[in-house]
Amino acid sequence: MRFMEKVNMKKYSIRAFWAFITLAILLLILYYSALQIFNDPDGVEKFQLGEKGALGAYLNGFLAPLIGLAAVMTTFLAFLVQYQSNKQIRNDTEIERFENKYYQMLNLHKENVNEIEIAGKHKGRKAFVKMFEEIRFIYSELKKIDKKYKLLDRIRDKQKRKHEKLIKIAYHHMFFGIDFEGKKCNNEMEGQYLEISKILCKRLTKYQKKFLRCNRRRLTENYSYKHKGLNKKTFEPDFYPFDGYVSKLGHLYRNLFHMIKYVARTDFLSWQQKYDYLKMLRGQLSNHEQVIMYFNIIWIDKETWWLDNIDDKPQSYLLDYAILKNLPFNLTNQLGPDPIKFYEDKMKTYYRFKGKDLKTEDFKKSNLNDMFAWLFEWN
């Protein structure tokens, strides 16, 4: 699909039409003016040759400026049409360059997803299902640890809610694994998560050893999570678990972010056109891909996703363009923060929605419901 920003040629066609109508009226006026010079309907026949010469001189003096004016108008109209044509060509060229790069990035994203593979058994989108199952199991382990040691309450991380802290730790160890990178946590956590991280890594290491004792066939661990009641699940990886996916997901999300930013920062596109281009990208994301991306955004904990203020032109990639519009609540409600509360906090922090700045009065309950209906495409 192409979304060309066309110059409104209809406007200029109407102008040209009226210009030609005006020119035609002037010529008609000239014609009837000439006829009025004659006193009788036979007009020209009443004049003698000398008088006709005088008439010719008169008409020449009268018509010459008007013909010159008509020539100037015709030249101007030709210039206007040529100018608009050149402007259209330049605009089409810009759009073509933009779309060529955009579709290359979109194809690269598809290739990146298709190339993701876990132990030669789970490839492409199916791999994200396994990642979700792994992070859900890690999350359940973290809840057991916190229930026993009460460590989360000691963590002061920007006043985050408990489930936000839990998903941040769980995603970190799903992403990096439980090797050195995973154990040390990243600097952005400022070491606050280190104590609970160490306990978690010891527990997960036991499951890795248990998998090896199973001759690398399949690990079977029962666990439960709360979602509309208590749900019992079995974690059954047929691959070495908790080994990390940084080499698989790192470049995927970098490319995804740059693609979204590239579209949002293209000045000659309208908001609607940007939204339509990003809608194409959104259509490429499966349910589990969107959930993992949602957790990735929570884990990164960077303002850039929510408000990117380049050249004093603020844009929110998540709130202005609803990148996670089809976020499956049946999956996010199993772990992590409630998306509605999480998004509401961000909206009240950055005051952005659908390409515009929000005001305090916009946060009425009815308005919020309408905004969430658009952000998450409720029926």
Whether 240 maps to a domain, the answer reads no
DSSP assignment of 203-241: HHHHHHHHHHHTTTS---EEEEEESSSEEEEEE--SS--
Same domain, residue pair 283 and 356: yes
Same domain, residue pair 161 and 221: yes
DSSP structure class, residue 43: G
pLDDT tens readout for residues 200-237 = 999 999 999 999 998 777 888 998 877 667 888 999 99
Whether 243 maps to a domain, the answer reads no
Whether 344 maps to a domain, the answer reads yes
Whether 203 maps to a domain, the answer reads yes
167 closest CA partner among 337, 9, 360, 367 = 337
What's residue 301's pLDDT? Answer: 86
pLDDT at 284 exceeding the cut of 70: yes
Q: Indicate whether this model's pTM tops 0.85.
A: no
Burial class (CB in 10 A: 0-12, 13-18, 19+), 219: buried
Q: What is the mean pLDDT of the chain?
A: 83
Query: How many domains, in total, are found in the chain?
Result: 3
Same domain, residue pair 106 and 137: no
Same domain, residue pair 307 and 367: yes
Whether 244 maps to a domain, the answer reads no
Same domain, residue pair 273 and 174: no
Task: Name the helix (H) or strand (E) containing 123.
Answer: strand 122-123
Same domain, residue pair 333 and 263: yes
pLDDT tens readout for residues 40-66 = 455 445 545 455 555 566 556 656 666
Distances (CA, A) of 362 to 102, 238, 348, 358: 34, 50, 10, 6
Whether 250 maps to a domain, the answer reads no
**Helix boundaries (H) for 237-364:** 246-264, 271-282, 287-300, 329-332, 339-350
Whether 151 maps to a domain, the answer reads yes
Same domain, residue pair 263 and 371: yes
Domain span including residue 213 = 120-235
Q: How confident is the model at residue 187 (pLDDT cuts 50, 70, 90)?
A: very low
Max Cα–Cα distance, the chain, nearest Å: 125
